[in-house]
Structure 1
Amino acid sequence: MEDGQGQPPQALFDAMNVYIGEEAQKGHFLDGGGLFGLEDAVNFVVRKGEVTRVDGPYAEAREAVGGWALLQYDTLEEAIANQQDFADLHAKYWPECSMVATLRQIPDDMPESAEAAAGA
């Protein structure tokens, strides 16, 4: 998340390590991690049947994924509460940060052809 905000403070890393450890113990945290900045990113843009490669750095990267996590909860309400906790950690330990923490679901009913492609 290197978009003019600087590096996250060590206090956030420490708090996230505790948070992730607790979620893993409960069986919720399955996998995740941080990502490098956009300076060496490579995008492939598909537009009207054509593929174009675009290498970083990007001048106007206002929204960039800084990390990801795969978590599992029994209910959507639990997942939403957990996402709130995640955002609260950032607000508390990195108040200068401007970010969006997005919660998305993985469908249980993925078509067989997509499952085969994902496993390949």
Structure 2
Amino acid sequence: MPRFMGFVRMEENIGTPPKALFDAMDEYIGERAAKGIFLDGGGLYGTEDAVNYVVRKGEVTRVDGPYAEGKEVVGGWSILEYPTVEDAAADQQSFAELHAKYWPEVTVISTLRQISTGPDAPEE
């Protein structure tokens, strides 16, 4: 079955999500974990302790957070497995709808990407 990675992106420092969203997420994730759909995932701390390595023109530079230019951050991630892309997309919409219902005052971008299973990049 195809695997997917889900991301939740949002503005940094917008505060803690409401308890009702946490409760709804616990139920949502629990149901999918029991079905073998949700394989792993979690929330992420802010960028204040983040470390980036930037590769530019063959040079590697370490850049530590916080990042003044950072407006949108990944706040959570998940690894999921669905029978089809259509099933994954439909369920990702359900996940986004939880945020719309329980935290409507913020903008959240819920992204789903299929995980590559091999060297399917074009040859040089």
Contact 1:2/1:38 (8 A) holds in 2:
no
Instruction: Give 4+ residue runs of structure 1 displaced > 4 Å after superposition.
Output: none
Using the size of structure 1 for normalisation, the TM-score is 0.86
1:25-45 alpha-carbon deviations (Å, 9 max, x no partner): 111000000111111111111
Q: Secondary structure at the match of 1:15?
A: helix
Partner Cα distance (1:77, 1:66) in 2:
24
Contact 2:49/2:66 (8 A) holds in 1:
yes
1:2-45 alpha-carbon deviations (Å, 9 max, x no partner): 61321111111110000000011111000000111111111111
Amino-acid identity (%): 69
Whose strand fraction is larger, Structure 1's or Structure 2's?
A: 2
Q: Does 1:36 align with 2:45?
A: yes
The residue aligned with 1:11 is 20
- Counting matched residue pairs gives 110
RMSD, matched Cα: 1.3
Q: Does 1:94 align with 2:94?
A: no
The residue aligned with 1:65 is 74
* Structure 1 gap ranges (5+): 112-120
Q: Does 1:23 align with 2:21?
A: no
Using the size of structure 2 for normalisation, the TM-score is 0.83
Bigger RCO (CA 8 Å, 6+ sep): 2
Partner Cα distance (1:89, 1:30) in 2:
19
